[in-house]
Amino acid sequence: MTPPKDKSLIIVGDRQIAHVAFEYFTHDSSYEVSAFAVERAFLTRGELFGRPVLALEALETTHPPSLHEAFVAVGFARLNRIRARLYAATKAKGYTMASYVSSRAFVWPNVPIGDNCFIFEQNVIQPFARIGNDVTLWSGNHIGHHVTVADHAFLSSHVVLSGSVEVGQYCFIGVNAAVAHGVKIGDDALIGAGTTILRDVQSRQIYAVDETKPRRIDTFRFFRIDSEQDRDG
């Protein structure tokens, strides 16, 4: 059942992440989305999901911070810099920055979560972890005890952070990555999909496993599909 709506929200952004944010805030939060906002140079439409799309530069003239909160719904482009910049600009206008935490996430009660966070379903966040500002945790991650995730980080799905891991600012960690107990990941690091990290990562380093190579034979040869009749079923 959708919670009762008692707060008004402006979503900053109008692309796919904003579409997703609209769905989650609409169906699983106490926020009513009142409008979208983008920088004037990127204003290409007047409406999205029946809500107006406004210029961020003049947003407070029609939707003042005293009546509306805001959420910046942008992905990890430019290693999270675009989202961080829009977060700072929106907050500087006086808006309270909302966070979304799925009702289907498990977050231990003593875990502080910053503003402008996007925490999807099936995340498990264990005791004494700390989540900074403007952090995205896509679905299905394990955030172990005493883990710290610093501001502006982005974790894709099914990431495992073992206990006492530290993730620096602006980091990106790809799908199915695993980080061993006590490892420190420096600011601006990128951990690729499926990568296992067993030792500390320095700032701005990239760790990635090689892409899986295709087999030399195709599926028809592998399954011995030889005739036109076989191909057509």
Distance CA 126, CA 103 (A): 16
Neighbours of 61 (CB within 10 A): 9
Instruction: Decide if 151 contacts 134 (C-beta within 8 A).
Output: yes
pLDDT score at 194:
96
Distance CA 173, CA 189 (A): 8
Instruction: Decide if 179 contacts 200 (C-beta within 8 A).
Output: no
Distance CA 35, CA 135 (A): 22
pLDDT in tens, 83-116: 999 999 999 999 999 999 999 999 999 999 999 9
212 band by pLDDT with thresholds 50, 70 and 90: confident
pLDDT score at 230:
52
Instruction: Decide if 163 contacts 142 (C-beta within 8 A).
Output: no
Q: State the CATH class of domain 99-209.
A: mainly beta
CATH fold label, 7-92: Rossmann fold (3.40.50)
pLDDT in tens, 110-164: 999 999 999 999 999 999 999 999 999 999 999 999 999 999 999 999 999 999 9
Counting residues of the chain whose pLDDT is more than 90, the rounded percentage is 88
Give start-end residues of each CATH 3.40.50.20 domain in the chain.
Answer: 7-92
Distance CA 159, CA 110 (A): 21
Counting residues of the chain whose pLDDT is more than 70, the rounded percentage is 97
Determine the average pLDDT of the residues in 49-62: 98
Q: State the average pLDDT for the chain.
A: 95
